Chain A
Amino acid sequence: MLTLKVDPVKCDGCGRCAVACQVGHAFSSGGRLPVFAAPLLWIRQSGDSKRIEICRHCETPVCADACVAGAIYCDAGSGTVQVCADKCIGCYSCVMDCPFGALCLQEGLAAKCDGCRDINGPLCAKHCPTGALQTAADSRAAAASRRRGRLLLTGRAR
């Protein structure tokens, strides 16, 4: 089960996570001269501070409930929440419902953190110098940064 823990107090907005995300995705797709895609996490100004907006890979993802096309699902193997690009219709329902602001539309389709499921763990957390972004192995620690639901039912696990 992948869990990303975000501690907004520790974030100074350096942006290394976003760069790690872009570079990681460019190379993991196999190209020697990669084309950098937009990052799958965002650093946004929130009042006086910066805020990292990234998918927490919730156990009961509200984005999956909001999706009218059945495009968002819990990938049981990697324990991540994923978007199926073939099914997404770009309706903004998930953008409207995610309390973490973890989704946005890129080229007409919902884009979100994929948890770097094809390589070993999210690169953004590995490169965070302040500990604002961490991957949590301990499920109790993870719960702190998730939307808590008493009921652990998966969204549209398949």
Chain B
Amino acid sequence: MSKYLIIGYSTAGLSAVRALTEYEPRASITVISAERHLPYSRVLLTHFIAGKVQRRDLDLVVPDFSQQAGITLLQGVRAVHIDPGEKRVMLDNGERLSYRALLLSTGSSPIFPEGLTPSDPCVAGLRSLEDCEKIMRHAVPGAAVAVIGGGPVGVKLACALREAGVSVHMLVSSPHLLSQVADEEAAGMVRKRMEACGINILTGVDVSGLEPDSDGAATLMLNDGTELACSLAVFCKGVRPNTEPLQVLQTRGGGIRVDKFMRSVFEDIYAAGDVAETFEITRRQYCTAAIWPHAVRQGRLAGLNMAGCEAPYGGSLFRNALEVFGLPFISIGIHPVSSCGNWDMEICRDGLVYRKLIYRENSLVGAQLVGRVEEAGALQAEIRRCAVQDLDE
């Protein structure tokens, strides 16, 4: 029996392994990975598509990391069932594994519209190296690729494809780009830069269907009645936590809710990364906040807590940084899409620089910076300080 069992071996899982091996050097750790690759940086995939980094730059560990760290790594297997009472996990190859403490760091998967799946040769998401390889097979100079979704991943992918010489059509269902993280003006500056670099952006449209052509390409039907020909449609319309084998945890479609010690409601089952629902300090609610620094931090804290060291997590804070053809954009915290609460804004604009600070009841809860972003770190610290203070009151 392995003392610690970790399901999912990417950013959060790896971070937990590092914390566990550092805190308890000879611990017996088993890691289950559905992927056959060693952990790699998913955030770098768009840079890989753009040709800015090599395949080896994606690796987060050296090839013999498992031996060095003394962990047992089972690759290409999935957990299909968890029995919290017996403290046992069943794998898809029939094997059963017992644990003393279990970490779920299974990550998330792209959401596809009904009727479309990534098994279709013209449809892809962007989460794994396989997705990335599929996109790169189509991303030849002169080809047309549709990027559906105007969030940070969609923007990064569109820019990367453009840099690879592909002609890019971006389809955004919201009235403006980055609608979850930016206001219209900030998003407008990003859009202008993308359009200046040759990306075709359509807002307020959605895909209603996809018709494969005989030559391997496809025609996208849009809800405004028009059609768009492309060789590949990449859906970047958000992600869903990978909780399928964990139905026993009653996640109701969301992630696995954890307390500040990254524990789920079940004894000795922890969760970290994209799959975990943590407390978001500006929204003041539990949600999945699928960004890299959260995965690193949550994974580490989950590892330490599994080893019996009481290390509390300070809460999540939504944030995103983008670099759009040289134009930096950073958004931190909440962005008032609804007008509930007592909001106050401070806006400065100066040519290609835009700075917006968002206050709720006189506490800084959000910031959007375009063009000049050096103060982002200090603003982030201030947002955290305000949030902690508000929670204490």
A-side residues, CB < 8 A to B, are 42, 44, 53, 62, 65-66, 68-70, 87, 89-93, 95-105, 150-151, 153
Contact = CB atoms under 8 A, between A and B. Distances in A.
Contacts of A69: 41, 44, 47, 53, 57
A101 B377 contact: yes
Contact of A96 (B22, B41, B297, B330): B330
Interface in B29-65: 41, 43-44, 47, 52-53, 57, 60
B57 A87 contact: yes
Interface of B: 18-19, 22-23, 41, 43-44, 47, 52-53, 57, 60, 292-293, 296-297, 300, 304, 309, 311, 319, 321-323, 328, 330, 332, 373-378, 380-381
Classify the secondary structure of B's interface with A.
Answer: helix
B313 to A, nearest CB: 11
A99 B60 contact: no
Contacts of B300: 151, 153
B373 to A, nearest CB: 6
Contact of A66 (B18, B293, B332): B293
A92 B19 CA distance: 26
Contacts of B47: 69, 89, 91
Contacts of A44: 374-375
Contact of B377 (A87, A91, A95): A95
22 contacts: A44-B375, A65-B293, A65-B296, A65-B297, A66-B292, A66-B296, A69-B44, A87-B57, A89-B44, A89-B53, A92-B321, A92-B330, A92-B376, A95-B374, A96-B321, A96-B380, A97-B319, A97-B377, A97-B380, A99-B381, A153-B19, A153-B22
B262 to A, nearest CB: 13
A42 B323 CA distance: 22
Given A69-B44, A89-B47, A99 B19 contact: no
Contacts of B377: 95-103
Contacts of A53: 374, 378
A53 B328 CA distance: 20
A97 B377 CA distance: 5
Given A44-B375, A153-B300, A89 B52 contact: yes
A154 B57 CA distance: 21
Contacts of B319: 96-97
Nearest to A152: B22
A102 B321 CA distance: 16
A53 B297 CA distance: 24
B376 A96 contact: yes
B328 A100 contact: no
A97 B374 CA distance: 11
A89 B292 CA distance: 15
Given A101-B375, A105-B328, A70 B60 contact: yes
Contacts of A105: 328
A105 to B, nearest CB: 7
Contact of B311 (A96, A98, A101, A151): A151
A75 to B, nearest CB: 18
Nearest to A104: B374
Given A96-B319, A98-B377, A104-B374, 13 more contacts: A44-B375, A53-B374, A66-B292, A69-B57, A87-B57, A91-B321, A93-B43, A95-B330, A95-B376, A100-B377, A101-B374, A151-B300, A153-B23
Given A70-B60, A153-B19, A95 B373 contact: yes
A90 B53 CA distance: 12
Contacts of A91: 43, 47, 321, 323
A121 B371 CA distance: 34
Nearest to B372: A104
Nearest to B312: A150
Most chain A CB neighbours (cut-off 10 Å) among B41, B43, B309, B321: B321
